[in-house]
């Protein structure tokens, strides 16, 4: 039986991808959803390539696979960071637009 704790990163990436896919299917076309989905797909591919790297392959092939997985993982992390930046910009833009309304009757002055 496989170890649940060892598979948690894989499970969380699948959940993140499914959530992003549902949002994209429902019509949410924000850039942060696309960035998070792309990051989850890349991280899933990296995990799947590292979990079972073709069994009895040569050492040189596995070294190339590890290098490629490292580059892909770095790309996934950069997309994840870009997703958070995009999400932050979206939230701050929404907040600044909602703060432009006159709220003088709410304040105690």
Percentage of the chain surpassing pLDDT 70? 75
92, part of any domain: yes
89, part of any domain: yes
Q: Kindly provide the b/e burial profile for residues 20-29, where b requires at least 16 CB atoms within 10 angstroms of the residue's own CB.
A: beebeeeeee
Domain residues for the domain of 17 are 10-49+59-96
**Please, which pLDDT band fits residue 39 given cuts at 50, 70 and 90?**
very high
91, part of any domain: yes
For the stretch 10-24, pLDDT in tens is 888 899 999 999 988
Enter the pTM of the model. Answer: 0.71
For the stretch 46-63, pLDDT in tens is 888 765 555 555 555 577
Percentage of the chain surpassing pLDDT 90? 28
User: What is the number of domains present in the chain?
Assistant: 1
Average pLDDT over residues 60-75: 79
Residue 103 has pLDDT above 60, yes or no: no
105, part of any domain: no
106, part of any domain: no
């Amino acid at each position: 039986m496989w170890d649940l704790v060892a598979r948690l990163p894989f499970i969380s990436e699948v959940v993140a991808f499914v959530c992003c896919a549902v949002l994209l299917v429902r019509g949410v076309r924000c850039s942060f959803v696309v960035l998070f989905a792309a990051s989850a797909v890349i991280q899933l591919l990296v995990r799947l390539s590292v979990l079972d790297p073709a069994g009895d392959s040569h050492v040189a092939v596995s070294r190339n696979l590890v290098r490629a997985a490292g580059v892909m993982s770095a790309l996934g992390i950069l997309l994840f960071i870009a997703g958070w930046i995009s999400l932050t910009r979206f939230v701050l833009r929404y907040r600044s637009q909602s703060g432009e309304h006159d709220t003088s009757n709410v304040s105690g002055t």
